[in-house]
Chains A and B, each alone.
Chain A
Amino acid sequence: MAQTRYPKTPREEQPEASADSAETTARGPFSRRQFLRGSAAAGAASAGLLSGILDDAAAQGEPGVAGPGAVDMAFKINGKAHVATLEPRVTLLDALRNHLDLTGAKKVCDRGTCGACTVLMNGDPVYACSVLAIEAQGADVTTVEGLGSPANMHPIQQAFVDHDAQQCGFCTPGFIVASAALLNRHPNPDQDTVHRELGGNLCRCGTYAGVRAAVAQAAGGGTTNG
């Protein structure tokens, strides 16, 4: 399952963040930054779940304040260095797609549900729509473009082609990145593991039979149906 990362919210911002949290319950426009900050603070206030993370943040000292205007950011994506000047609220997905023209990761739900934007951060699958670009600095980011090219496909990409695990293809990049991560963690997964690890990706055309077969091929055998 793809994971999202918790924002690191300093304690000092909690009162303000609580106000944001109330705002998110009303219909109407809100920024992702406010939403993430608000929900994190609400969680911390109600259950104390984030206290560890907040303590860690505090232990690292007062974080620098960035924004609200655009700031320079540096990324390592598919092994290459990229720089961009972006507002701190820009998501990793929008940074990739709108600013770096890496459009393999797709914007579909933009709310951390469908998995079409899945990329790897330091080898772990994340929903790029739910990570701020500013958080991805310093991380090793791999997108579907970085796994292979049409002339030199990654084994999982080849398997998706061989088993026709794609129709319109819009969910495919996310599925392929998630499948690559799955195989890194479980080189020979059983079907339950495949289903669990790819449960965070949704397809509309209905390619799951092909995906099962493709993962089995890339894993070097095993049985699937379809």
Chain B
Amino acid sequence: MAEYTWPAAGDRLHIGKHISRLDGPVKATGRAKYAYDVNRRGMLWAVMVQSPHAHARITAIDTSAAEAMDGVVKVQVIQDVGTEIQWAHDEIVAVAATSEEVARDGAAAVKIEYEVLPHFVNERAVDEAPDAQPAQAETTGDPAAAMASAPTKSSGTYHVAQIAHCSLESHGQVAEWQDEETVTLWASTQAISGVASQLGERIGIPASNVHVETQYMGGGFGSKFSVDRWGVVCAELAKETGRPVKLMLDRDQEVTVAGARPSTHAEVSTAADADGNVVAWDSKSWGSGGPAGANSPPLPYVFAFDDQTHMHTSVPTNTGPARAWRAPRHPQACLVTMRALEDLAHAAGMDPLDFFLKNIDKTGERSGTYTEELEKGAELMGWRDRWRPRGSGTGTVRSGLGLALHTWGGRGHRSNCEVLAYRDGLVEARIGSQDLGTGTRTIIALVLAETFGLGLEQVKVTMGRSVLPASGASGGSTTVGGVSGSTRRAALNAVDAVFERIAPRLGTEMANLELKGGQLHFKDGSMAAMPWRQAATLIGVNPVSATGANPGPGQLNDSGVGGIQMADVSVDMETGVVSINRMVAVQDCGLILDMKLAESQVYGSLIMGVTYALTEERVFDPHTGQMLNADMEFYKLAGIEDVGEMIVHMMTGPGYDERGVIGLGEPPVIAPGAAIANAATNATGVPINEMPMTPERVLAAINGGMA
């Protein structure tokens, strides 16, 4: 029977090559239909009315004017009188109408009255928080004693603002009922299988009667795992009106209620011995991601010291709730840790590259990887020639270098795949996964084609529907390991099943057959190789079917990666503007299936990192509790001119490939902010301790530092 392994380096047909995503042409020509693009015959548009208050109790709702409006078909109260609203923009009423314009008119005509209650939105002022929740300190060794006796000490306070997911396709869906018991949901989701179960439970029909379809998805980044209240409302409106309904969030809703990354603020003290070994760590952090506060960031990050202590306080706020944002808690922990260690390196009078290498054994089992990556990164950045001590620059515009390390798990999730081989030669994978734009569809095709020894044009991937074999949600960098594992096992099983069926028809044994280079080979040379298309005709009218799952036999994927990033920035000392000159990312992720897609993930992560490092922040007005920049004009994403030159190096070959596939969605997005902050600190000569590093903040740091 099949051996569940990946092919050796010399035997790979597609794996590791630069392969363009297969759905590229459909997307690039505007033919790809996202949930937002689904238009159904007789469809209604739904718009939601939101709370203008951050904390309030609903005292009256009058929908009569909206209901009387021409074109308004149904008005549904989502949260009724008496409900206590915990954040601004929370949804209260939905209006479904025959056009988007009329739906908006209807929403504007809904009258809601509130009893306004006191709110708290700015958790940075933790002392003013009405409901701060401190946790027990986690302590190893005796950090106080280690700190007291150490010759080199450093301390600082670091801030990472709350940011939004700001997916370009907002949350939402189109719902259409086929009959009283069956509904189809075209949803913008990272979890088709999970959403089917969630919606079934919420509206009281079997999960198997909810058909979720997501062929293309306009960004989620961790914010789209749930059916959400608006998904339920959309399905209910569709049922009650007997018509398909489209309900997509508006941009202001998207950035206020549909996803936030919690803030982190931390006071850190560190100490090193005379040789530059870190001997003590003490951190107190706090932060918020809305009414549930925020979980503790993993501090110290990547490194573990013999004597360390950390304490976290969760601060609930009246702001739209947090959702998982790529590598939850890691980017914040990375900024705090890498900035603190850079400060300690400076106190020790050391180049941070030497300092990090000196302490690399404290990173544990990935220390060898980090060492190789730091050396490679230094070469690509020209670090050894170009690094100068903090604040050495002169003139108005000063440049500096910074670095940071990160880590992530990324083991493959649970996934099931069915592979079908047809007598016309087509081989199909059916899998209930979704492609968020990471290239999942392409990865599945590539693994299938690799296993059958075929070209990519000879295989087909059917995915993005919840009725297909269940596969996990796409989050936490778990998809690539999951779907590649299930597809590889299913495909290997399918090859065996094909051999089992056709061997008797060829008068030979299964074990004598082999698929390679698009041909069926006879190992004993008894017959000449025949093209796969010809061999496939022997399958007969009933296709061969086989299944595979992840996890399963054989090590096809693993968990745990390390990566390093370096930033070269310039800071204008008169304006406080930080500009990115160059970013270097060196990353491992085990066996790379498609080098082009892997590199895209890292380029994209660097860019997303630049944008949260420099511009992204959910700004709340303490007086009204409103988010002040709930749009894309002032919730700023970096543009093409803002991101500098980018160099990406993927670690491959012996020591990496044999670990199997490991996820890449989260790791490279963790460190850019920390590397940039360290570079800005190196350039200006003053600690730049806040993200985003807006000109205002950098200038304040510069002026404070010079005072």
**A and B form one complex:** yes
**A interface residues, Cβ below 8 angstroms from B:** 27-29, 87, 89-90, 94, 97-98, 101-111, 113-114, 116, 143-145, 147-150, 153, 157-158, 160-162, 164, 166-173, 176, 194-196, 198-199, 201-212, 225-226
> A144 with B29: in contact, given A106-B36, A109-B251 (CB under 8 Å)?
yes
The reply to whether A199 and B604 contact each other, CB–CB distance below 8 Å, is: no
Instruction: Tell me which residues across on chain B come within 8 A of A208, comparing CB atoms.
Output: 603, 607, 639-640, 643
**Interface check B608, CB cutoff 8 A:** yes
- Nearest chain-B residue to A105 (Cβ)? B30
**What are 16 inter-chain pairs, A to B, with CB distance below 8 A?**
A27-B52, A102-B30, A103-B39, A106-B36, A108-B632, A109-B631, A114-B637, A160-B28, A167-B600, A168-B217, A169-B216, A173-B28, A173-B30, A206-B607, A209-B607, A225-B647
In the complex, what's the smallest C-beta–C-beta distance from A97 to chain B, in angstroms? 7
B250 adjacent to A225 (CB under 8 Å): no
A205 touches B101 (CB 8 A): no
> Is B104 at the interface (CB under 8 A from chain A)?
yes
| CA of A161 to CA of B640, assembled, Å | 18
- For residue A108, which residues in chain B have a CB less than 8 angstroms away from its CB? 168-170, 251, 632
Residues of A within 8 A of B606 (CB): 206
Q: Is the CB of A150 within 8 A of B29?
A: yes
The reply to whether the CB of B436 lies closer than 8 angstroms to some CB of chain A is yes
Task: Return chain A residues, CB-CB under 8 Å to B167.
Answer: 168, 204
Is there an interface contact between A157 and B29, defined as CB atoms closer than 8 Å?
A: yes
Are A103 and B37 within 8 A (Cβ)? yes
Is B27 a contact of A166 with CB atoms below 8 Å? Answer: yes
Q: How many of chain B's residues have a CB under 8 angstroms from any CB in A?
A: 64
Ranked 9 nearest A-B pairs via Cβ: A104-B30, A206-B607, A168-B437, A206-B604, A170-B218, A169-B27, A103-B37, A195-B641, A161-B24
B25 partner, pick from A28, A153, A194, A202, beta carbons under 8 A: A153
Q: When the two chains form their complex, are residues B166 and A204 in contact, meaning their CB atoms are under 8 A apart?
A: yes
Instruction: List the interface of chain B (C-beta within 8 A of A).
Output: 20-21, 23-34, 36-37, 39, 45, 52, 99-101, 104, 107-108, 166-170, 216-219, 221, 248, 250-251, 436-439, 596-597, 599-600, 603-608, 611, 631-633, 637, 639-641, 643, 645-647
Docked-complex contact A169 and B32, CB < 8 angstroms: yes
* With contact pairs A204-B608, A205-B604 given, residues A94 and B219 touching in the complex (Cβ less than 8 Å): no
Given A105-B30, A169-B216, does the pair A111, B251 have CB atoms closer than 8 Å?
A: yes
Q: Is the CB of B31 within 8 A of A198?
A: no
A108 to B599, CA, bound (A): 26
Given contacts A144-B30, A169-B27, A195-B640, 9 further A-B contacts (CB under 8 A): A108-B170, A109-B632, A110-B251, A157-B29, A161-B25, A164-B24, A168-B167, A168-B436, A202-B639
A81: min CB distance to chain B, Å: 20
Whether A157 and B28, one on each chain, are in contact in the complex, defined by CB atoms closer than 8 angstroms, is yes
When distances are taken between beta carbons in the complex, the residues of chain A under 8 Å from B639 are: 195, 198-199, 201-202, 208
Q: Which residues of B contact A144 (CB under 8 A)?
A: 28-30
Question: Complex: how many Å from CA A29 to CA B30?
Answer: 31
Q: Does B219 lie within 8 Å of A199, measured CB to CB?
A: no
